[in-house]
Amino acid sequence: YTNESVDKAIAFINKDASLGGTELYRPLEDIFLKNKEDPQYALNVYIVTDGDVSDENAVISLIRNHKKNARVNTIGIGSGVSKTLVIEAAKAGNGECEFCTQNESISTKIINMLKKVATPKFTNINIIWLDGITSIIESLPSVIY
C-alpha cells in the first residue's frame, strides 16, 4: 500500500454513507466469483461498515465457503455497527478485525490492519515427524510460540 492509496481509502470512508441498509452478500459473491475466474493472486477483501446487515448469517456463511481462496478483513466504525458481523466475518475469512469509535482515527486503524495482513497466512501445512507420522494442519493460530 502507499500513502496515496490510504488517503483515498480514508477520504472514501469519511464521506457521508448514510444510504440505508448495508448490502454485503451480493458484492462479496461477485468478488469471490471474479476471483475464481482469475485466481492468480491471493485475494484480500476489506469490509468497512458502520451498520448492520439483515442477512448476517448468510454473509458469514458465504465468507466461510470461500476462505481457502480469500482472506476477509473487517473494520467496524461507530457504535451502531454489528459487532457480531465484524468479528465473525473476519473469523470466517481467516482475517483480522478492528473497531473504530468516534474518538479514534480511522487512518490508524487502516494502517494497523494493513500491517497485520501484510504477513502471509499459512494454511494446509504438512508436518512429517521423525517417526514417519504425518500431521496436516489446515490453519494456524494468530500467534505461534
The string of pLDDT tens digits covering residues 99-126 is 998 888 888 888 888 887 777 666 666 6
Tell me the three state secondary structure of residue 143: coil
pTM above 0.85, yes or no: no
Per-residue pLDDT of 60-92, as tens digits, reads 999 999 988 888 999 999 888 999 999 999 999
> Are the CB atoms for 18 and 51 separated by under 8 Å?
no
Where residue 138 falls among pLDDT bands split at 50, 70, 90?
Answer: low
Per-residue pLDDT of 14-46, as tens digits, reads 665 554 557 899 999 999 988 876 666 778 899
At 87 the pLDDT is 95
At 121 the pLDDT is 63
Chain centroid to Cα 41, Å, comes to 16
Q: Please give the DSSP secondary-structure letter assigned to residue 121.
A: P
The closest of 118, 120, 108, 117 to 6, measured between CA atoms, is 108
The closest of 53, 64, 86 to 139, measured between CA atoms, is 64
**Rounded Cα–Cα distance for residues 26 and 16 (Å):** 22
